[in-house]
Copies of this chain bind each other. A is one copy, B any other.
């Protein structure tokens, strides 16, 4: 603790020769204060290195100037391995907050836990951003209850019809479709899908729907034996690829529901002496920084994380200001790298 007593707005008021209320107004840029008074107050504040006590101002004004970012994830053995895609989102969310003058509180949570009280209800944050490959459906009632209590929440994830909460997400369906069409163009016909395509992973499910759509449009028959569940980790990708090989079904391509799954799968294929992309083309989803550096470089779908972060923050602030907000879907972009160039490298 500093030895000196804390400097308050009363000290500034005395120094500037105005009332404490005027200090408060001047420092918040209220238009009620005359230009000259404001200058005098600002000079006094600067000379004493005064800063407004956020706790007091928040208590009085009922706003915190803070947003909370909650990462949802299953408990992982390795604490420090965060899904790289969400890291990129974290970066852009942080900067978007800074641009808007908001602070950002972050926290890692398990979806099943009782996290709601921690932020909005204790007035630490004015609103909450949820990030994660979340099965929000299962927790829909909780989200709904929060919303009813007046908590402002914006989710990143699958944008689905009939979702009562505001969601920003990329167009997973189109993404899945684009990747699959690209693989078909490479001459692949037995394209495996690695990822849990159930409603527990709504984003994966959408990507899978796009995959099915692309196959059907081209008249390629769908073989359920080519779909293997996986969650978004390398380990899970390796296991899924092992399971796929164990099934003995022939396949000439893998569309992994995320880059981490794809990278794990490539590892397994290599270990089995299977060449990528000559024998099996592989594509992922997310365009994590690693994607361009694995061997072979990974074809994937890029999401505009910078814009996504801005949209999450902007929409949450609109919600906080009681402005109309709707869920929004962002376009994605296919990034072709060597891992999927089945055609060029072989046959």
Residues of A within 8 A of B (CB): 1-3, 49, 51-56, 58-59, 62, 64, 66, 79-82, 84, 87-92, 94-95, 98, 103-108, 117, 121-124, 149-150, 263, 289-290, 293-295, 305-306, 309, 322
Contacts and interface: CB of A to CB of B under 8 A. Distances in A.
Given A64-B55, A80-B305, A294-B294, A94 B122 contact: no
Contacts of A263: 293
Nearest to A65: B124
Contact of A59 (B51, B59, B122, B293): B59
Nearest to A3: B150
A90 B92 CA distance: 15
B106 A104 contact: yes
Contacts of A3: 150
Nearest to A104: B106
Nearest to A121: B51
B95 A79 contact: yes
15 contacts: A3-B150, A51-B122, A52-B122, A53-B59, A55-B64, A56-B59, A80-B92, A80-B309, A81-B91, A84-B84, A94-B106, A94-B107, A98-B108, A104-B105, A294-B294
Nearest to A263: B293
A105 B54 CA distance: 14
A124 to B, nearest CB: 5
Contact of A103 (B54, B80, B105, B306): B105
A80 B84 contact: no
A52 B122 CA distance: 6
A289 B52 contact: no
A319 B103 CA distance: 24
Contacts of A53: 59, 122-123
Contacts of A64: 55
A143 to B, nearest CB: 16
Given A80-B306, A80-B309, A104-B107, 17 more contacts: A1-B150, A3-B150, A52-B122, A53-B59, A53-B122, A55-B123, A79-B95, A79-B306, A80-B92, A82-B90, A84-B289, A94-B106, A103-B124, A104-B105, A104-B106, A105-B105, A294-B294
A92 B76 CA distance: 12
Nearest to A151: B2
A94 to B, nearest CB: 6
A105 B98 CA distance: 12
B81 A289 contact: yes
A306 B263 CA distance: 24
Contacts of A58: 55
B121 A49 contact: yes
A122 B79 contact: no
Contacts of A305: 80
Contacts of A62: 1
A114 to B, nearest CB: 11
A114 B308 CA distance: 28
